[in-house]
Amino acid sequence: MFIGKQSRDFLIETASPAAVLSGVEVAQPASGLRCPYVLEISLWQDAITRQQQFCTQLESLHGDSVPSKVQLDDQKALIRLDNVQGGSHSIYVMEGDDVVSRAFRETNHWEKREVAAVVEQLITVADRKGVSRSEVVFIDIGANLGTFTMAAAAAGFKVYAFEPMETNIAAIRHSICANKQFLNNVALIETGLGNEFQTCGLYSGDANVGDGFVNCDPSFRIDAEVHAKRNISKRQDLIVRRLDDLLGSSVMDSLKARVAVLKIDVEGFEPLVFEGAKKFLDVVHPEFLMTEVNVANPGIVKQYMEYMSRWYDVHEEAFTGPILDLSTLQDPAQGGRRFAVNIFNLYLAAKSI
């Protein structure tokens, strides 16, 4: 369901192409039905219901067993891998040479250390508060194939997963069906997030198809040299929304003190996502946040971290690692620090923790 904001109403539009996958169609509201505040009331339950419908129809096609292979179109297919991430669950990955999918096929893991850090932090928060894991929420922005989402669900936590790419949505939907115990624990929200409501393009390279970046400039074109070098192509159009608009007051109130960890990996779009999530950061205020950064653009990263430092201390290497001196996030030619790699994760801990 694509939902656009018009003044204070939400307009429910027609289904996205991702709603129809491997012969399974997720029920959609009538086109043009105007539903004031519908997401504030039913964001979680709407997502769960859509997933249940998907799994029910998948079962009607394949019986009790989930398929080992799903053909999405003439060129794209998903395959099921069992006992991944230490044997805790199954996951669907791409059949081709996508880097994340290949890592899963060869090692049964992707970002093993980072996934472990997130799950351990979720457990730490639940234990410290003395609550069941089902009362603790993980938010995954840029869920990709669902690596972090599925690991958190396998550990017993509730998950909001935000993902706009159609092939990734297909993979996550099938993965949830393959792990029926997750059916009521994962809300998959099929949208991009940013600083304003708009239509953008989603691009990725052939080597990492599911790891797309967003560009909202209608005149943007892939440079021929870049395309030849990295095989970057436009995968689809998508709707981008502000998280503050998407959640609304009642959802934010229900999430207060419940969101233990938020992970975000949206290929450089992170600052714009949080620009559209100021109220969310003030009201929900996740205790811990893991974000990917690219210090090849040190000025942008510095501005991003200075903005986030209103709410968080910025740590290196782990949630309890050394606090990063933000002044080092500038061009090395101007006295900034040289990092061993350009792309890595930073770990943010709420200042009140």
Contact 305, 324 (CB under 8 A): yes
pLDDT at 79 over 80: yes
pLDDT of residue 10: 26
Average pLDDT (7-35) is 37
Helix (H) or strand (E) holding 248: helix 243-255
Say if strands 186-189 and 343-350 run parallel, antiparallel, or are unpaired: unpaired
Q: Is residue 306 included in any domain, yes or no?
A: no
pLDDT at 29 over 50: no
Task: Provide the number of structural domains found in the chain.
Answer: 1
Closest by CA to 1, choosing from 11, 14, 53, is: 14
Q: Is residue 340 included in any domain, yes or no?
A: no
Q: Is residue 308 included in any domain, yes or no?
A: no
Contact 1, 11 (CB under 8 A): no
What is the distance between the alpha carbons of residues 72 and 60, in angstroms, rounded to a whole number?
Answer: 18
pLDDT of residue 212: 65
What is the distance between the alpha carbons of residues 97 and 326, in angstroms, rounded to a whole number?
Answer: 37
Contact 33, 12 (CB under 8 A): yes
Average of per-residue pLDDT values in the chain: 84
Which range of 14-18, 283-287, 338-342 scores highest in mean pLDDT? It is 283-287
pLDDT of residue 109: 93
Q: Is residue 225 included in any domain, yes or no?
A: no
What is the distance between the alpha carbons of residues 263 and 165, in angstroms, rounded to a whole number?
Answer: 17
Q: Is residue 216 included in any domain, yes or no?
A: no
pLDDT digits (tens, 9 = 90+) for 17-28: 344 344 554 444
Q: Is residue 244 included in any domain, yes or no?
A: yes
Higher pLDDT, 269 or 273: 273
pLDDT of residue 17: 36
Q: Is residue 318 included in any domain, yes or no?
A: no
3-state secondary structure of 65: coil
Q: Is residue 282 included in any domain, yes or no?
A: yes
What pTM did the predictor assign? 0.85
pLDDT class for 34, splitting at 50, 70, 90?
Answer: very low
pLDDT at 11 over 50: no
Average pLDDT (131-157) is 97
Contact 140, 160 (CB under 8 A): yes
Instruction: List the domain range (segments joined by +) for residue 199.
Output: 3-207+236-286
What is the distance between the alpha carbons of residues 122 and 156, in angstroms, rounded to a whole number?
Answer: 10
What is the distance between the alpha carbons of residues 242 and 338, in angstroms, rounded to a whole number?
Answer: 34
pLDDT digits (tens, 9 = 90+) for 321-331: 999 999 999 88
What is the distance between the alpha carbons of residues 202 and 158, in angstroms, rounded to a whole number?
Answer: 28
pLDDT at 171 over 60: yes
HEC string for 126-161: HHHHCCCHHHCEEEEECCCCCHHHHHHHHCCCEEEE
